[in-house]
Chain A
Amino acid sequence: MKNNFMNHLFKKLRHGTISVSLITVTCLFINKEAISQAEKDSAKLSATMTVSYKASNGSRSIKVNLKRKVEKKFIAVDNLKTPVSLYFKSVKEHNPADGTGLVGKLYLGKDGEGVFEIPDDINKLISGLHKYTFIAKFDADPIYEDAEEEISIADSKITLSYLGEDSIKTATATLYEWKDSAYVPVAGAELKLGIKRTFSIFPIGESGAVTDSSGKVSADLPLDMPGTFDRKITIVAKIDEHESFGNVEVSKEVPWSVLPEPIPEIGRALWATGDNAPYVLVFSSLSIIAVIWGTIFYLISLLIKIRKIGRDKSS
């Protein structure tokens, strides 16, 4: 009687557990659906888009940056679900509906940034123009409100010359803009000169130097600056975030006599390359591996022996 009662109770409990589990899973599912619907319905976040232009030695790119404000601070948008489209407006009016003027689409990275490298066909078009406009936009994102930003660029160019004497070596850059059917020098613009190093540009000349009336800026190169092993150095002239021209940069490789310091021989060390491991480490580790794997192979040979004995009917 007692057993029957217990069995009945266990069955009830089992059924109860299954029912509770099913109800819990269903509730979780419904809850998830409800939450996602509520998220869709709630107001979207607004984000600030900035667009910048860069021309470097003939290649052009547009950088898009998206930020949002959280507690009075701007943070990068790292969860934009839709791609940002870039349109080139200057030939004829762009039209997102049929894709007219579309340069490309890209998803922003986790840093809220994306760079459009302008393809060759549009680059050729731009080269024949002297004022052009790009539009970056995204729409129908589930989290963010639609955003659009436009950037207009006026044609400019920088020429870079180098005069290398034994005792003095000078770089001169000239900034021009397109005006009245010709390139004319730009006076009063901040034009930076520098030497390209591995990770950055080493500035030369006066800090904050602006172009003179002939659009020129000059600077002497430090004579002790090491170049490359093939006796070259790269000088750079650039304007940063100019309101009309954007970021424009040119560089030029020139002959140089100062060689870099030879790379010191590290020899065999823990921090050397794989084939320069210290002998002590090589011998000790290989000895340990040999002893352990030797033992393992010995054990495997014993297993083969077990099989031989088993097959040998006389034993």
Chain B
Amino acid sequence: MKNETTAVDSVLMNKYEAMHDELLRPIQKTGLAGKIWIGFLFCVFFAGVFAFYTQETKSKYETISLNNYTMWGIYISNFVFFVALSLVGALMSAVLKLTNFEWYRPLSRIAEVIAVAAIMFAGVGIIVAMGHPERLYFLLTHGRLQSPIIWDIVVIITYFVATSLFLFIPLIPGISQLSNHLKDKPKWQMWMYKKLSLSWRGTPEQWKIVKRCITILAILIIPLGISIHTVTAWLFASTLRAEWNSTNFGAYFIAGAFLLGVAAVIVGTFFFRKYYRFEKYLTDSYFDKMGKMLVFLSGVYFYFNINEYLVPAFKMDSMHSQYLLDEFTGKDAILFWLVFLFGIFVPAILPLFKSMLKPWPLTVIAILVVIAAWFKRYIIVIPGLSHPYLPIQNVPHSWTHYVPSLIECMVVAGIFAAALLFITLFSKFFPIISVWEVAEGDGVSLEKINLLSKKA
């Protein structure tokens, strides 16, 4: 019996040793495709920075299409998209961990890094939308506690700190391994690893503290994640517009955010698996599970959409009818129904077929969900602003509709590029799968994990 246990342990140890070595590969070397990708993201990011500089230094009449009615535009719809995306950390790491769904382990870091990037650039997005960045300072010094905007700022900062800790703390043992085993890296990089490893030696007390921190954060991050998106929903629900006059908004936003989060993790997992050649660790079975999750969450989101649209459509009161008819059959109808098709029906139905749960088809479905999720925020924000309670009269023709300007599009593209750049660079400096968490999930003891760290 003892011999059998030893044999199993030996197989597992060999597996994790190999896994550890392979996870170092993307950190040790960046291929041509990787360099082109990073270069491309830098170019788009700098184009966005230039566009923002142009917006701030030239007349906003000339640079952006925002007006008295559509005063938020794609900056705010993009902000809502990023806030929604940031909820993925709360779902994939915290909810699955606390409910003992062990398969979350190899995916948790991908989810966390997406969450940190999303909340960081949601914050950047809201500063861009302020018109003058210094208004953030005035908001903090002169803001009213009664305003949902203040709640949003507070909750974004708090969630960013909590999510960053949730990403960093499980990473400490891994950073220690990098510090011990990476060779031929610049001095500053090795110094960074040394400082971030917090003198990790894998003592029982250190493990105990890391695990306690992870449990506390997993509990903390769920209400925080729900708060951040609920407060974002209240920014709309507490504003006088027919479309946003809803008590359903908080739950509706959270359901949509969970669906987007799972889709984003599917896309992230697919690309890390393919380009870092991690097929052995990010196996098809994870896509199978995430595909099923996609179906479930699409169903939940569909339910909230029915509440959001069907109940007012049944009554068709004068204030709601104008924008509802615009969305169902009018000028916004094509976008509205495409968003429904690709954002809810496709992920709810296609993954029911087994062949669609394979990495390739599921990733295509997930990409469609992510794109539809961005446009879903667009059709929540823009038509809502275009239907004020007081009718639009005697104003310039251009105020009656909204088309984002080139500057706005470039700034949004820059924010996207910056978020993707953060995720890519993270994976070039730190392992994208947490080896010790996967090993622990397979029942390997902490002593053996320590041993693995020293052997590797």
Binding site for B on A (CB under 8 A): 70, 75-76, 78-79, 109-112, 270-274, 277-278, 281-282, 285, 289, 292-293, 295-296, 298-300, 302-303, 305-307, 309-311, 315
Contacts and interface: CB of A to CB of B under 8 A. Distances in A.
Given A289-B154, A292-B224, A296-B162, A111 B212 contact: no
Interface in B203-254: 203, 205-206, 209-210, 212-213, 216-217, 220, 224
Contact of B165 (A112, A282, A299): A299
A310 B213 contact: no
Contacts of A273: 144
Contacts of A295: 216, 220
Contacts of B161: 296
Contact of B67 (A110, A272, A292, A302): A110
Contacts of A302: 209, 212-213
A299 B216 contact: yes
A302 B165 CA distance: 12
A293 B61 CA distance: 41
Given A109-B61, A289-B154, A78 B200 contact: no
Interface string B379-406: 0000000000000000111110000000
Nearest to A298: B216
A75 B146 contact: no
B142 interface: yes
Do most interface residues of chain A lie in helix, strand or loop, or is the interface mixed?
helix
B144 A303 contact: no
B158 A292 contact: yes
A75 B158 contact: no
B39 interface: no
Contact of B201 (A79, A271, A299, A310): A310
Nearest to A282: B145
Most buried by B among A76, A78, A281, A309: A309
A307 B146 contact: no
A309 B172 CA distance: 14
Nearest to A79: B398
Contact of B217 (A278, A299, A306): A299
Given A76-B396, A310-B198, 7 more contacts: A79-B398, A285-B145, A292-B220, A299-B213, A306-B198, A306-B209, A310-B201
Given A110-B67, A296-B162, A302-B212, A310 B200 contact: yes
Contacts, number: 88
B394 to A, nearest CB: 9
A306 B210 contact: yes
Interface of B: 61, 67, 142-146, 151, 154, 158, 161-162, 165, 169, 172, 198-201, 203, 205-206, 209-210, 212-213, 216-217, 220, 224, 395-399
B200 A306 contact: yes
A277 B154 contact: no
Most buried by B among A76, A299, A302: A299
A277 B205 CA distance: 46
A254 B308 CA distance: 57
Contact of B205 (A79, A111, A285, A315): A315
A290 to B, nearest CB: 12
Given A270-B146, A310-B201, A75 B396 contact: yes
A274 B140 CA distance: 11
Contacts of A111: 395-396
Nearest 8 CB-CB pairings of A with B: A310-B199, A274-B144, A307-B198, A277-B145, A76-B396, A78-B396, A75-B397, A78-B398
Contacts of B61: 109-110
Contacts of A285: 145, 151
Contacts of B144: 273-274, 277
B203 A315 contact: yes
Contacts of A303: 169, 198, 213
Given A296-B162, A296-B165, A112 B396 contact: yes
B397 A78 contact: yes
B369 to A, nearest CB: 25
Contacts of B396: 75-76, 78, 110-112
Contacts of A298: 216
A302 B213 CA distance: 8
B198 A277 contact: no
Given A274-B145, A292-B224, A296-B161, A309 B206 contact: yes
Given A78-B398, A110-B399, A299-B213, A309 B169 contact: no
22 contacts: A76-B397, A78-B396, A110-B396, A111-B395, A111-B396, A270-B146, A273-B144, A274-B142, A281-B146, A295-B220, A299-B169, A299-B213, A299-B216, A303-B213, A306-B199, A306-B206, A307-B199, A309-B209, A310-B198, A310-B199, A310-B201, A311-B199
A307 B201 CA distance: 9
